[in-house]
Chains A and B, each alone.
Chain A
Amino acid sequence: MSAINSGEIDLAVVGAGPAGLAAATTAAELGLAVSVFDENATPGGQIYRGIEAVAAKRGADFAVLGDAYRAGESIVRDFRASKAAYAPNTGVWLVQKDRQLGIVRDGKAGMVAARRVLIATGAQERPVPIPGWTLPGVMLAGAAQGLLKSAGMVPAGPVVLAGNGPLLYQLAAQLVAAGVKIAALLETRSERAAALPHLPAALMAGNYLAKGLGLIAAVKRAGVPIRRGVTELRALGCERLEAVEVAAGGRTERIDAALLCLHQGVVANVQLSLAIPLKHEWSAAQRCWRPVVDQWGNSDVEGIAVAGDCAGIGGAEAAAHAGRIAAFEAARALGRIDAAARDTHAASDLAAWRRHLRARPFLDALYPPAQGLVVPADDVPVCRCEEVTAGQVRDAVRQGGTGPNQVKSFTRSGMGPCQGRMCALTVSEVIADALGKPVAEIGTYRIRPPIKPLTVGELAALE
């Protein structure tokens, strides 16, 4: 099989978010032949989605989307100015341990070889399985935000936001700035007492708290009704969402809604790193899996590194530093610079990266996902593709299913087109809960290629 790119690739970067772009720019500056593969049409990833279009044609939207979004402008600009090759609209459906990448673009699949691979596939939203979450009109907050960024689309009709985490407040502030009327912001329990010990470190990390408080203040100023400590969230409706039901302060409330945006934080997107597979560990603080990497991003597989949120949630700014750190290490590993030069080059990024990460323990402790949402009741669907409920998962466990792979075999959970992206965490949590064991012992689905859409015909014509 010949490589699609004729030239040799020193560093193949998967993902064009802050980590991937910063890594590619830096590695190219150091003289490496870099190729960035990304499934989106334009660079920026989820966090800076559509930023070039906004900068060029919709400058006014920066006021809506905020300064944190605008920070992506320079990262994308530097990347465009670099010598790194860029393959947009390109799915990476396979990464092998020998650093062969399976890619697909415009209906053509091919294999590409690289001396080193950097996985920078970012974060994904934690699923929020509540009764009715599969109704049209219910979406995850990040998806709603994506529409706002890429298309400037604002929802019509009453909007309810529910869950917790910084992104929920950011979306609320953006919607308010866009003139959308928010019927209610329903916040599940935040753990101020548990978070307090981590506050001093977070204060040293930068302006995270000030930004967060600013967002909350803006939402309050706009008169958005906020309910705190809500439980028993339900999306109601027949054909589509009609209302949201919630318990707060000992009583149940019903709020009419055309759009419900759910959020329970973001988690590392480990689909690709699991498929290779790299060694992973359970992060109890972030309640998700992440690949085991050293400070340079090196995984347990020689020549394959991971940087940014897909190695554990640190946020966009930390991700950009992690990308640069990984680029310096790539240059060292490929013999362009020695270890001493790498250490010198990377010193300021390492310091900044660690400083940003100091905010995480506070945020992770303040906004833990609600127990009732990570371990839903029996009648709640957990696998949307195959329509498997939490109760069916528990049944499979009662019949001797000891882990997610046996449960997958017996229920079809995780067998649909998303390959468990949307249900893996929930299924492992439900099994752990049912067996009274920690999730770390339960494990997760074995992920198999292709992890991005690929047709039989494309594979048959693989070059």
Chain B
Amino acid sequence: MSGTDFIVLGGGLVGSAIAYGLARRGKRVAVLDEGDVAHRASRGNFGLVWVQGKGLGMPEYADWARLSADVWPEFAAGMKERTGIDLNYRKPGGFQLCLSDEEMAERIAFIDRLREQQGAKGYDCEVVDRRRLDNLLPELGPEVVGGTYCPHDGHVNPLRLLKALHKALGGAYRPNSKVTAIRPAGGGFRIEAGQTVHEAPRIVLAAGLGNLPLADMLGFKLPVRPQRGQILVTERLPAFLDYPLSGVRQTEEGTVMLGSSREEVGYDNGTSPEVMRSIAANAVRVFPRLKHARIVRAWGALRILAPDEFPIYQTVPGHDGAHVATCHSGVSLAGAHALRFAGYLAEGRLPAHFTAFHSRRFDVPKAA
């Protein structure tokens, strides 16, 4: 293992995208991953590459999400070229629909606030009324009053993305390597993973919820928590939907994914009939035709959320060679992680505006 520049801890979408980006820049990397069963948000997510609605309260994140969407086409093309795997990335723009006038008014106000925040840069998200929606989306339910459209939104097959990243990493990807200890050693780090030991001057903690125990090994309390989302997927249907919606998308295979909920239930990644029912009910309100579609599977997966739900990028306090990357948008941000963030790491410094992503933002003194 001598001669490794970076050890990336975590082989999900975040860790793999960063490692791929590092390898692309000629860095020697090793990715340590757990086995078949782990939290694995990378296997349970919805597959949107999404911009609209993100970053209110942190302009740097709104910019970062947009930048990722901008580089995604190049990223997807690179993956195809390197691995032969088509990620089924499509960027037709995406919709969020509203089922009542109140919802519509709230949505418009929300997007206006974002637009105001982004100022001169502008914010590409337009309000679309029901009449225009009817030209773009098929047989909408009567309750749909309108929605918002963002041309930078898209969707992808997230499982193909993970597979392609692992394929591109080749022998650098090491499964069944659950990390049991991280020890600073000789200016770098000594990582114990089961029976094997790995050493490198720099490490990247990018293990999703697995980052909590990893950061703990370096004496750092990472402020993130799990939040469950449930998803339903239908049998394959003839293609009917050209655009991804925030809670409905039709995959290349024809299956329709329905989501997505938010529950604070700790580490339970199961499902619950109440939430499944509400996801199904919403889907039928938007597209009544889905009533007859058979559900093949439902599942729960855990988002990785900071208190303000924005990413955390920083070094571990007291350990300059140990970087942390924690976010819940591993699909949307894969482009930026591979083509930009990995570059920052390779060059040895994060851009100045990345201080916004540091967890010290949560260290505000309690109001008296």
Q: Which residues of A contact B (CB under 8 A)?
A: 1, 94, 96, 100, 102, 111, 396, 399-406, 409-410, 412, 415-417, 419, 442-443, 446, 448-450, 453-457, 459-462
Within 8 A of A (CB), among B1-49: 11, 33, 35-37, 40, 43
Q: Does B290 contact A (CB under 8 A)?
A: yes
Interface contact B35-A403, CB-CB below 8 Å: yes
Interface contact B234-A409, CB-CB below 8 Å: no
Q: Does B293 contact A (CB under 8 A)?
A: yes
Interface contact B296-A402, CB-CB below 8 Å: no
**Given A449-B297, A450-B295, 12 additional A-B pairs, CB 8 A:** A96-B273, A399-B163, A405-B37, A412-B253, A443-B36, A449-B276, A454-B294, A456-B291, A457-B290, A457-B292, A459-B232, A460-B284
Interface contact A450-B290, CB-CB below 8 Å: no
Interface contact A456-B37, CB-CB below 8 Å: no
Interface contact A400-B175, CB-CB below 8 Å: yes
**Measured between alpha carbons, how far is A455 from B235 in the docked complex, in Å?**
9
- Please indicate the chain A residues that have their CB under 8 angstroms from the CB of B277 in the complex: 459-460, 462
Cβ distance B142 to chain A, nearest Cβ, rounded Å? 15
Interface contact A456-B271, CB-CB below 8 Å: no
Interface contact B295-A405, CB-CB below 8 Å: no
What are 17 A-B pairs at a CB distance below 8 A?
A: A94-B273, A399-B166, A399-B167, A400-B33, A402-B36, A404-B36, A405-B36, A405-B37, A409-B159, A409-B163, A419-B297, A448-B298, A449-B271, A450-B297, A453-B294, A456-B292, A462-B280
- Please indicate the chain B residues that have their CB under 8 angstroms from the CB of A453 in the complex: 294
- Please indicate the chain A residues that have their CB under 8 angstroms from the CB of B232 in the complex: 456, 459
**Measured between alpha carbons, how far is A396 from B298 in the docked complex, in Å?**
24
Closest to B163 in A: A410
Closest to A450 in B: B295
**Measured between alpha carbons, how far is A450 from B235 in the docked complex, in Å?**
12
B174-195 vs A, CB cutoff 8 Å, 1 = contact: the mask equals: 1110000000000000000000
**Measured between alpha carbons, how far is A262 from B61 in the docked complex, in Å?**
58
Interface contact A460-B274, CB-CB below 8 Å: no
Residue A402 contacts which of B35, B235, B274, B299 (CB distance < 8 angstroms)? Answer: B35
**Measured between alpha carbons, how far is A184 from B43 in the docked complex, in Å?**
47
- Please indicate the chain B residues that have their CB under 8 angstroms from the CB of A416 in the complex: 296
Cβ distance B24 to chain A, nearest Cβ, rounded Å? 18
Q: Does B162 contact A (CB under 8 A)?
A: yes
- Please indicate the chain A residues that have their CB under 8 angstroms from the CB of B43 in the complex: 405-406, 409
Cβ distance B357 to chain A, nearest Cβ, rounded Å? 29
Residue B273 contacts which of A102, A402, A415, A448 (CB distance < 8 angstroms)? Answer: A102
Interface contact B273-A462, CB-CB below 8 Å: yes
Q: Does B173 contact A (CB under 8 A)?
A: yes
Residue of A457, A459, A462 most packed against chain B (CB within 10 A): A459
- Please indicate the chain B residues that have their CB under 8 angstroms from the CB of A448 in the complex: 271, 297-299
Cβ distance B331 to chain A, nearest Cβ, rounded Å? 14
Interface contact B298-A449, CB-CB below 8 Å: yes
- Please indicate the chain B residues that have their CB under 8 angstroms from the CB of A410 in the complex: 159, 162-163, 166
- Tell me if A's interface is mostly helix, strand, loop or mixed: loop
Cβ distance A456 to chain B, nearest Cβ, rounded Å? 5
Closest to A410 in B: B163
**Measured between alpha carbons, how far is A111 from B276 in the docked complex, in Å?**
13
- Please indicate the chain A residues that have their CB under 8 angstroms from the CB of B283 in the complex: 456, 460
Interface contact B293-A443, CB-CB below 8 Å: no
- Please indicate the chain B residues that have their CB under 8 angstroms from the CB of A454 in the complex: 294-295
Q: Does B281 contact A (CB under 8 A)?
A: yes
Cβ distance B266 to chain A, nearest Cβ, rounded Å? 15
**Measured between alpha carbons, how far is A111 from B273 in the docked complex, in Å?**
8
**Measured between alpha carbons, how far is A462 from B295 in the docked complex, in Å?**
14
- Please indicate the chain A residues that have their CB under 8 angstroms from the CB of B173 in the complex: 399-400
Within 8 A of A (CB), among B189-237: 232, 234-235
Cβ distance B85 to chain A, nearest Cβ, rounded Å? 10
Q: Which 7 A-B pairs have the closest CB atoms?
A: A403-B36, A457-B291, A459-B280, A460-B280, A460-B281, A462-B277, A402-B175
Q: Does B258 contact A (CB under 8 A)?
A: yes
Cβ distance A106 to chain B, nearest Cβ, rounded Å? 15
**Measured between alpha carbons, how far is A443 from B35 in the docked complex, in Å?**
11
Residue A100 contacts which of B33, B175, B273, B281 (CB distance < 8 angstroms)? Answer: B273
**Measured between alpha carbons, how far is A382 from B274 in the docked complex, in Å?**
35
Closest to B284 in A: A460
- Please indicate the chain B residues that have their CB under 8 angstroms from the CB of A96 in the complex: 273
Interface contact A457-B37, CB-CB below 8 Å: no
B157-174 vs A, CB cutoff 8 Å, 1 = contact: the mask equals: 001001100110000011
Interface contact A402-B176, CB-CB below 8 Å: yes
**Measured between alpha carbons, how far is A319 from B288 in the docked complex, in Å?**
45
Cβ distance A384 to chain B, nearest Cβ, rounded Å? 14
**Measured between alpha carbons, how far is A399 from B293 in the docked complex, in Å?**
34
- Please indicate the chain B residues that have their CB under 8 angstroms from the CB of A446 in the complex: 37
**Measured between alpha carbons, how far is A453 from B293 in the docked complex, in Å?**
10
Given the interface contacts A443-B37, A448-B271, does A455 sit within 8 Å of B297 by beta carbon? no
Interface contact B296-A417, CB-CB below 8 Å: yes
- Please indicate the chain A residues that have their CB under 8 angstroms from the CB of B167 in the complex: 399
Closest to B83 in A: A399
- Please indicate the chain A residues that have their CB under 8 angstroms from the CB of B174 in the complex: 400
**Measured between alpha carbons, how far is A462 from B297 in the docked complex, in Å?**
16
Residue B298 contacts which of A399, A406, A450 (CB distance < 8 angstroms)? Answer: A450
Interface contact A455-B292, CB-CB below 8 Å: yes
**Measured between alpha carbons, how far is A403 from B296 in the docked complex, in Å?**
21
- Please indicate the chain B residues that have their CB under 8 angstroms from the CB of A396 in the complex: 163
Residue of B235, B281, B295 most packed against chain A (CB within 10 A): B295
Closest to B176 in A: A402
